[in-house]
Amino acid sequence: MEGCPRSRETCPKLLDLIPQERKWYHDEEKNNSDQEKKLELRLAPPGGDEEDHSAMKKKKNLDTRNNIKKEAEYKPIFNLSGNHFSPSNKTTYAPPHISHKRTAPGPVVGWPPVRSFRKNLASSSSSKLGNDQINKSGEGEKQVEPKREGMFVKINMDSVPIGRKVDLNAYSTYEQLSFAVDKLFKGLLAAQRDASGGEGEEKPIIGLLNGKGEFTLTYEDNEGDKMLVGDVPWQMFISSVKRLRVIKSSEISSALKFGCSKQEKMRN
């Protein structure tokens, strides 16, 4: 309050601190003036016009996914620190970031505010029968032991010589697994393409589950059959998967040659 300039010209605008390269912040913003209006100190008590205006705005943005507008007002700040911590930091600390994309806001560090030992409940006890309606059979029992230690399965990708391992216990949905596969192989794939004379740019690996992407995720189950990932409920998948393979979508039919009939049966 003391000595703080009220005029807009002298107030440091954080927007000005953003380097030009990060243009997308500016592009995403609706009205600069609208935003600055909100930052401006007013003599009138809070409420009244400003409140109605914002309440109206918020009414339209009921769904969190659409709340980007609200976030847009102070988004830029959160991403400024994107690179302040070196990636080699061994700890689990990561700079906070809020997704600025027009899709669902990405996960934020430390939110919801639940301590880490409470966060793994969903994956480690997903086999427990408490709330789970799917596997009340003896299969649930079998899963209990390996679940505790982490369920690592091998995963290979076409045209990438290096295979990896994923801990399926760390995920509880196919989306999470798909995201993890993208993270695992994106860099390797780009390196591979670079080496063979193609474009070395890292492209996200998407569409793994719906057949629309360049690659598709498949798996081999405990009976040796090759299946498309995503058809059966997650629990059933977990109980039967032995290894994973990311194949070119164009080669689906030949890759699943031996599992064809089974796949069709499951589809029906």
Task: Kindly state whether residue 62 participates in binding other proteins, applying the rule CB under 8 A.
Answer: yes
Q: How many angstroms from the chain centroid is the CA of residue 126?
A: 20
Least distance to other proteins, CB of residue 187, Å: 24
Positions 157 through 216 that interact with other proteins (CB under 8 A): 172
Residues 127-156 that bind other proteins (CB under 8 A): 128-131, 141, 144-145, 148
Euclidean distance between CA atoms 175 and 146, whole angstroms: 22
Q: Is 122 in the site for other proteins (CB under 8 A)?
A: yes
125/263 with CB nearer other proteins: 125
- Residues in 64-93 that interact with other proteins by CB under 8 A: 64-65, 67, 70-71, 73-74, 77-78, 80-81, 84-85, 89, 91-93
**β-pair partners for 154:** 165, 243
Q: Which of 7, 31, 47, 102: binder of other proteins (CB under 8 A)? A: 47
With contacts defined by CB under 8 A, how many residues of the chain interact with other proteins? 71
Segment (H or E) for 200: none
Q: Is the dihedral of CA 127, 131, 135, 141 positive or negative?
A: positive
Closest CA to 173 of 123, 99, 227: 123
The alpha carbons of the chain give a radius of gyration, in whole angstroms, of: 24
Contact present, 215 and 186 (Cβ < 8 Å)? no
Q: Which of residues 6-25 bind other proteins (CB under 8 A)?
A: 12, 14, 17-19
